[in-house]
Amino acid sequence: MPDAGVADLAESIAAGERRALARGISLVEDEGPGFEELLDALHGRLGAARRIGITGPPGAGKSTLTAALVRHHVEEGLTVGVIAVDPTSPFTGGALLGDRIRMTELATEPGVFIRSMASRGSVGGLATATREAADLMDAAGYDRVLLETLGVGQSELDIAASADTTAVVLVPESGDGIQAMKAGLMEVADLFVVNKADRPGADRLESEIRVMMAIRGGNALEAIRSHHGARIDRPADTEDAGEWAKPVLQTVASDGRGVEELAAALDRHFEWLNGTGRLERRRADRRLRRARDALLRLAGGDVSRVWQNAPSQLSDRLRSNELSPYAAARELYESWRIALRPGG
Amino acid sequence: MPDAGVADLAESIAAGERRALARGISLVEDEGPGFEELLDALHGRLGAARRIGITGPPGAGKSTLTAALVRHHVEEGLTVGVIAVDPTSPFTGGALLGDRIRMTELATEPGVFIRSMASRGSVGGLATATREAADLMDAAGYDRVLLETLGVGQSELDIAASADTTAVVLVPESGDGIQAMKAGLMEVADLFVVNKADRPGADRLESEIRVMMAIRGGNALEAIRSHHGARIDRPADTEDAGEWAKPVLQTVASDGRGVEELAAALDRHFEWLNGTGRLERRRADRRLRRARDALLRLAGGDVSRVWQNAPSQLSDRLRSNELSPYAAARELYESWRIALRPGG
């Protein structure tokens, strides 16, 4: 049963109070007292927001594209939450001052809520905290929740994969586009964006992406055809997306070119998910994974307590290398089993 | 007490048998039966290898540099183990065919052992498995263990940080060098390598790195001086490295230029660590962290079992959204505490 403070906070978040939302996200990020009760209390209000992952290598212009999407949605009359987990993003203070100032301006718009997430010590902590921050924005009534993450690294890809729709952003002439794609980006993409498309090489990159998709889809002939100029206009990815053909779009986020088309493609993907029943299945699967993560976190809390209360002679023996880490862990584990007894 | 199979395997690894080492690493990677006993049995043999992290953004030439370092060490008469955890690395099959063939040739040299690590599902699993694979190479008697990792993403940086010495590799003209550095690379670096230094912009990148180090070190005046041409020739980083001045080296890994100087700088760093007592302190700290990770893994194993044995009505209620993930986790946690009772 949530205590009064947490219940009040949940109510204020559900009522759309910005300061309550900010407080709630901090509580979740810090795993502060009552954070799980808060998430539990708001659980029934989830599901209205569309969660969109924007991911790609550093320098792809993800933040500028995110900002452009926010502006587009605001003009449509929608409310938007943004979570930036990219340490190189201007949202998180990681880029040039000019960019950061523009992002800060955006954050003062009514109907826009921007939050950056710092990397945390605990294993898997960042991905979990990010998903939970997205939950709070969802519960607070935001129509769209945009998750900007670096598309390199396992936990970062986990975040991207937690969205309903994930856009992978690449730039021409980076030379690393295709290389970076191999690092799992191909798998998480529901659509591709060739950003900074006013640079030379945009068409070539688009064509390379189509070739790679065709190869993944197992259609080598189509891959070769595509490489020789003929565009693929039917589904390239047949792995698990069924009849969804991953679009490849070109944008120039800095002047807004292609952003409307991107928003439309994101909407189309969401409608496809929803229409085919995949949305509900994906979200149900995610609830199961979330429960498992929550259980692991409860166990992790126990581990932390056991560790903090470990006898100092144990850490001395570890430091002096008398005891291996595995033997020490086994010793602590056994004592923990005893301590875990209900009522113990 | 290790069973006979694990004890034999440990002995064969310690005797330097390649196939045993390969089997041991697979066992550890899969968390197969007896893997912790194996690590425990070999624990007393650790410490002779110098562990060197090679990290940086995709496309920086880390693999080519790693290969060049391997060749250099082999010529010195040293044995070298390589662990590649970079999915874009030719070692892991992620790059151009020509590169991959050259890496494969290297792997057949006597005294060289190359292993790539795949990303794993379990939280923090990759970083842990990589550290343990490095342990096995250490126990097998390799003089150097090189860890090639992508320098973006938290778990990847964790791997880099587990080395005795970490080299951060950047390339001129990437445009992302400085941006990528902000993603935690600066913190893990013991030295910097400007690779592909035959390209224009190498001196500029070197100068930018020195400026950033000076700024981090808090010496703004020096930063400005450095930016205007005067090189910093005294310690720039005063955060925790004490009197270690992080060198910035230029290499052209593809033709071996600068590799000897890099090897010498790595050796100097190791001798500095050793001479100041930092090596032993760092390694003792790491043993403590390893014990904590091992304890967390034991708990994680319990969680998996609890999860697998969860009543199907619980997952039904999660799928249908009758139950929040937090409420489900709490229910399972309570039943787990009962099951965990010694003898239970």
Q: How far A319 CA lies from chain B's nearest CA (Å)? A: 5
Strand pairing partners for A168? A55, A192
CB contact under 8 Å between B179 and A152, yes or no, is: no
Length of chain A (residues): 344
Q: Which two tokens stand for residue B269?
A: 């760093």
| A239, part of any domain | yes
Q: How far apart are CA B307 and CA B327, in angstroms?
A: 14
**Of B244, B175, B237, B233, residue with least CA distance to B204:** B175
Q: How far B114 CA lies from chain A's nearest CA (Å)? A: 20
- DSSP, res A189: -
CB contact under 8 Å between A94 and B182, yes or no, is: yes
- Which are the contacts of A31, defined by CB distance < 8 A and separation ≥ 6? A122, A129, A297
**Of A81, A104, A90, A100, residue with least CA distance to A62:** A90
CB atoms within 10 A of CB A24: 28
CB contact under 8 Å between B292 and A298, yes or no, is: no
As a whole number of Å, the CA-based R_g of chain A is: 23
pLDDT by residue for chain A (344 residues), tens digit each?
Answer: 556 799 999 999 999 999 999 999 999 988 899 999 999 999 999 999 999 999 987 778 898 999 999 999 999 999 999 998 866 566 655 555 556 666 777 878 889 999 988 655 444 577 888 999 999 999 999 999 999 987 766 666 777 778 999 999 998 876 555 555 555 677 789 999 999 999 998 998 898 888 877 776 654 444 444 444 433 333 344 444 458 999 999 999 999 999 999 999 999 999 999 999 999 999 998 899 889 888 888 888 888 888 888 888 998 999 988 899 999 999 998 887 777 665 54
Q: How far apart are CA B133 and CA B137, in angstroms?
A: 6
Find out whether A109 and A77 touch, Cβ atoms under 8 Å.
Answer: no
Comparing alpha-carbon positions, the chain B residue that sits nearest to A179 is B88
Q: How far B179 CA lies from chain A's nearest CA (Å)? A: 6
Q: Are residues B67 and B9 in the same domain?
A: no
| A339, part of any domain | no
CB contact under 8 Å between B291 and A57, yes or no, is: no
Find out whether B129 and B25 touch, Cβ atoms under 8 Å.
Answer: no
Q: How far apart are CA A20 and CA A278, in angstroms?
A: 33
Q: Are residues A209 and A252 in the same domain?
A: yes
Q: Are residues B72 and B138 in the same domain?
A: yes
| B297, part of any domain | no
Q: Is B237 left (phi over 0), alpha (psi -120 to 50) or beta?
A: beta
Q: Which domain holds residue B20?
A: 1-44
Residue numbers in B near A119 (CB within 8 A)? 154, 184
Question: Burial level of B243, CB count in 10 A (0-12/13-18/19+)?
Answer: exposed
B18-29 helix and B35-42 helix, angle to the nearest 10 degrees: 130
| B84, part of any domain | yes
Q: What is the DSSP string of A70-96?
A: HHHHHHTT--EEEEE--TTSGGGT-S-
Q: Which two tokens stand for residue A299?
A: 């166990």
Q: Is residue A164 helix, strand or coil?
A: coil
Q: Which two tokens stand for residue B206?
A: 């070197």
**Total domain count, chain B:** 2
| Sequence letter at residue A234 | R
Find out whether A169 and A205 touch, Cβ atoms under 8 Å.
Answer: no
Q: Are residues B249 and B169 in the same domain?
A: yes
| Sequence letter at residue B3 | D
Q: Are residues B87 and B30 in the same domain?
A: no
| B117, part of any domain | yes
Q: Are residues A22 and A141 in the same domain?
A: no
CB contact under 8 Å between A298 and B342, yes or no, is: no
Which residue stretches of chain B have pLDDT < 50? 121-123, 219-241, 344
| B158, part of any domain | yes
Which of A135, A283, A292 is the best substitution to test chain B (most B C-beta atoms within 10 A)? A292
Question: Burial level of B95, CB count in 10 A (0-12/13-18/19+)?
Answer: buried
Q: Are residues B62 and B39 in the same domain?
A: no
Residue numbers in A near B320 (CB within 8 A)? 284
Tell me how far apart the terminal alpha carbons of chain B are, to the nearest angstrom.
Answer: 22
pLDDT at B147 (0 to 100): 94
Which of B279, B318, B334 is the best substitution to test chain A (most A C-beta atoms within 10 A)? B318
**Which of B119, B296, B340 minimises the CB distance to A300?**
B296
Q: How far apart are CA B60 and CA B296, in angstroms?
A: 34
pLDDT at B93 (0 to 100): 56
Helix segments in A113-236, DSSP class H: 125-139, 154-161, 177-180, 186-188, 202-216, 220-227
Q: Give the H/E segment covering residue A338.
A: helix A325-339
CB contact under 8 Å between A293 and B325, yes or no, is: yes
Q: How far A288 CA lies from chain B's nearest CA (Å)? A: 6
Q: Is residue B165 helix, strand or coil?
A: strand
Residue numbers in A near B294 (CB within 8 A)? 325-326, 328-330
CB contact under 8 Å between A36 and B88, yes or no, is: no
Q: How far B217 CA lies from chain A's nearest CA (Å)? A: 18
Comparing alpha-carbon positions, the chain B residue that sits nearest to A156 is B153
Q: Are residues A25 and A130 in the same domain?
A: no
Q: Which two tokens stand for residue A233?
A: 């206009």
CB atoms within 10 A of CB B111: 16
Strand pairing partners for A112? A80
**Which of A88, A298, A302 minimises the CB distance to B329?**
A298
**How do B144-150 and B112-116 pair as beta strands?**
unpaired
pTM (two decimals): 0.74
Residue numbers in B near A94 (CB within 8 A)? 179, 182-183
Q: Are residues A113 and A170 in the same domain?
A: yes
Q: Which two tokens stand for residue B114?
A: 């190359």
**Which of B40, B124, B179 minimises the CB distance to A123?**
B124
**Which of A290, A302, A325 minimises the CB distance to B294?**
A325
φ, ψ of residue B221 to 5 degrees: the values are -60, -45
Q: What is the DSSP string of A286-322?
A: HHHHHHHHHHHHHHHHHHHHHHHTS-HHHHHHHHTTS
Q: Which two tokens stand for residue A171?
A: 């730039």
Which of A100, A318, A322 is the best substitution to test chain B (most B C-beta atoms within 10 A)? A318
Q: How far A215 CA lies from chain B's nearest CA (Å)? A: 15
Q: Are residues A117 and A37 in the same domain?
A: no
Q: Which two tokens stand for residue B66?
A: 């790693």
CB contact under 8 Å between B43 and A325, yes or no, is: yes
Comparing alpha-carbon positions, the chain A residue that sits nearest to B314 is A288
CB contact under 8 Å between A296 and B59, yes or no, is: no
**Which of A152, A175, A333 minimises the CB distance to B295?**
A333
CB contact under 8 Å between B152 and A154, yes or no, is: no
Q: Are residues B98 and B219 in the same domain?
A: yes
| A73, part of any domain | yes
- CATH number for the domain that contains residue B149: 3.40.50.300
**Which of A39, A298, A315 minimises the CB distance to B333?**
A298
Residue numbers in A near B48 (CB within 8 A)? none
Which of B64, B287, B336 is the best substitution to test chain A (most A C-beta atoms within 10 A)? B287
Comparing alpha-carbon positions, the chain B residue that sits nearest to A290 is B325
Q: What is the DSSP string of A7-72?
A: HHHHHHHHTT-HHHHHHHHHHHHHT-TTHHHHHHHHGGGTTSSEEEEEEESTTS-HHHHHHHHHHH
CB contact under 8 Å between A87 and B43, yes or no, is: no
Q: Are residues A66 and A28 in the same domain?
A: no
Residue found under tokens 């290499």: B251
| A304, part of any domain | no
CB contact under 8 Å between B328 and A291, yes or no, is: yes
Q: What is the DSSP string of B59-74?
A: TS-HHHHHHHHHHHHH
CB contact under 8 Å between B175 and A59, yes or no, is: yes
Q: How far apart are CA A126 and CA A113, in angstroms?
A: 19
The complex's ipTM works out to 0.76
**Of B314, B326, B312, B317, residue with least CA distance to A294:** B326
Comparing alpha-carbon positions, the chain A residue that sits nearest to B287 is A325
Q: Own/partner pairs for B316-322, CB < 8 Å, 24+ apart?
A: B318/A284, B318/A287, B318/A288, B318/A291, B319/A284, B319/A287, B319/A288, B320/A284, B321/A284, B321/A287
